[in-house]
Structure 1
Amino acid sequence: MNTRNVHDRLNGIEAFVQAAEAGSFALAAERLRLTRSAVGKSIARLEARLGVRLFHRTTRQQSLTDDGQAYYDRCVRALAELQAAEAELDSGRREPQGRLRVTAPLVFGRHCVAPVLRELAGRYPQLEVDISFNDRVVDLIDEGYDLGIRVGDLPDSSSLAARRLGLQTMGIGASPAYIAAHGRPVTAQEMQGHAGIIYARGGQDKAWTMQDEDGRATQLRLRPSLRLDDLQAIADAAIAGAGLAWLPCWMLARYVGTGELEVLMHGDRLAAHDVHAVWPQARHLPSKTRAAIDALAARVPAMLAP
Structure 2
Amino acid sequence: MREKLDGVVTFVQVVEAGSFAQAAERMHLTRSAVGKAITRLETRLGVRLLHRTTRTQTLTTEGHAYYARCVRALAELESVEAAFDTSRVEPEGRLRVSVPEAFGHLCVAPVLLGLAHQYPKLQIDISFTDRFTDLIEEGLDLVVRIGELRDSSVLAARHLGAQHIMIAASPDYLAKHGTPTRIEELDDHVAIAYSRAGAIAPWDVPDSSGKPQPIRIRSQVSMDDIQAIAAAAIDGHGLAWLPCWLLTRYVKSGALVPVLNRYRVRSQNVYAVWPNVRHLRAKTRVAIDALKAQIPAMIEPTDVL
TM-score normalized by the length of structure 1: 0.89
CA contact (8 A) 2:163 2:266 kept: no
1:212 aligns with 2:212: no
What SS does structure 1 have at the residue aligned with 2:107? Answer: helix
**Equivalents in 1 of 2:136, 2:176: separation in Å?**
50
Q: Describe the shift of the 1:111–1:35 C-alpha distance in structure 2 as closer, same or farther (beyond 3 A).
A: farther
In the other structure, the counterpart of 1:3 is: none
- Does residue 18 (structure 1) correspond to residue 21 (structure 2)? The answer is no
Q: Distance in 2 between matches of 1:128 and 1:139?
A: 21
1:111 to 106, 113, 129: 106
Alpha-carbon spacing, 1:301–1:60, altered in 2? closer, same or farther (3 Å): same
Is 2:185 the counterpart of 1:200? Answer: no
Q: 1:79 aligns with which of 74, 79, 85?
A: 74
Count of residue pairs the alignment pairs up = 301
Determine the structure 1 residue equivalent to 2:129.
134
Task: Give the letter for the 2:254 counterpart.
Answer: G
For residue 209 of structure 1, report the CA deviation from its aligned partner: 0.4
Q: Identify which range, 27-36 or 89-98, moves more after superposition.
A: 27-36
**1:229 is matched with which residue: 224, 231, 236?**
224
Change (3 A) 1:49 1:84: same
Check if 1:28 corresponds to 2:23.
yes
Q: Secondary structure of the equivalent of 2:260?
A: strand
Partner of 2:167: 172
User: Structure 1: where are the runs of 5+ without partners?
Assistant: 1-5
Distance in 2, matches of 1:221 and 1:177, equals: 23
Structure 2 residue runs without a partner (length 5+) = none
What letter matches 1:97 in structure 2? Answer: E
Provide closer, same or farther for how the CA distance between residues 259 and 114 of structure 1 changes in structure 2, counting only shifts above 3 A. Answer: same
Cα drift, residue 295 of structure 1: 0.9
1:190 matched residue in structure 2: 185
Q: CA deviation at 1:35?
A: 4.1
**2:265 aligned partner:** 270
1:279 aligns with 274
Aligned-residue offset at 1:60: 4.0
Q: Is the 8 A contact 1:140 1:147 kept in 2?
A: yes
Partner Cα separation in structure 2 for residue 129 and residue 170 of structure 1: 30
Q: Indicate if the aligned counterparts of 1:210 and 1:271 stay in contact, CA closer than 8 A.
A: no
Alignment of 1:39 with 2:39, yes or no, is: no
- Quick check: 1:192–1:220 contact (8 Å CA) kept in 2? no
Question: Greater shift after overlay, 103-112 or 44-53?
Answer: 44-53
Q: CA deviation at 1:127?
A: 1.3
Q: What's the RMSD between the two structures over aligned residues?
A: 2.1
SS at structure 2 position matched to 1:251: helix
Local SS of the residue matching 2:210: coil
* CA spacing shift, 1:137–1:214, aligned 2, 3 Å: same
Instruction: List structure 1 segments (4+ residues) > 6 angstroms apart after TM superposition.
Output: none
Paired AA for residue 232 in structure 2: A
Equivalent of residue 247 in structure 2, options 247, 252, 256: 252
Q: Show CA shifts across 1:159-196 (max 9, x none).
A: 32221111111111122232232222232111124221
CA distance in 2, matches of 1:106, 1:56: 42
AA in 2 matched with 1:132: S
Question: Tell me, what secondary structure is at the counterpart of 1:169?
Answer: strand
CA deviation digits over 1:120-177, x for unaligned, max 9? 1222122122222222332322332221211111223333222111111111112223
| Secondary structure in structure 2 of the residue aligned to 1:122 | helix
The answer (yes or no) to whether the contact 1:170–1:267 under 8 Å persists in 2 is: no
Give the C-alpha shift of residue 263 in structure 1.
1.4
Contact 2:165 2:264 in 1 (8 A): no
For 2:297, give the aligned amino acid. A
Residue 124 of structure 1 is matched in structure 2 by 119
Cα deviation digits, residues 258-287 of structure 1 (max 9, x gap) = 332221234564242111112222222211
